[in-house]
Amino acid sequence: MVNTPRKGAARVADAAPDILARLNAGEIEAATLSENLATGFTALLAATISELAK
């Protein structure tokens, strides 16, 4: 199965809620700067720390 790259959101307001949830959980990487800016870094840090503690 080949993963095709996502186009990503052009504006912060255009980021889909399911994509934001996956970004905040650290499951996927941001495809655009707008997605990066929309990421909740507190939530991402919490998810990352819990993963590192395993």
Dihedral sign of CA atoms 46, 25, 33, 35 in order: negative
Q: In angstroms, rounded to a whole number, what is the distance separating the alpha carbons of residues 39 and 14?
A: 13
Asked whether residue 1 carries a pLDDT value surpassing 60, the answer given is no
Report residue 3's pLDDT band, with 50, 70 and 90 as the boundaries: confident
pLDDT digits (tens, 9 = 90+) for 25-53: 999 999 999 999 999 999 999 999 988 88
Q: What is the pLDDT of residue 52?
A: 85
Asked whether residue 2 carries a pLDDT value surpassing 70, the answer given is no
Domain-wise residue ranges, the chain: 12-52
Average pLDDT (7-26) is: 95
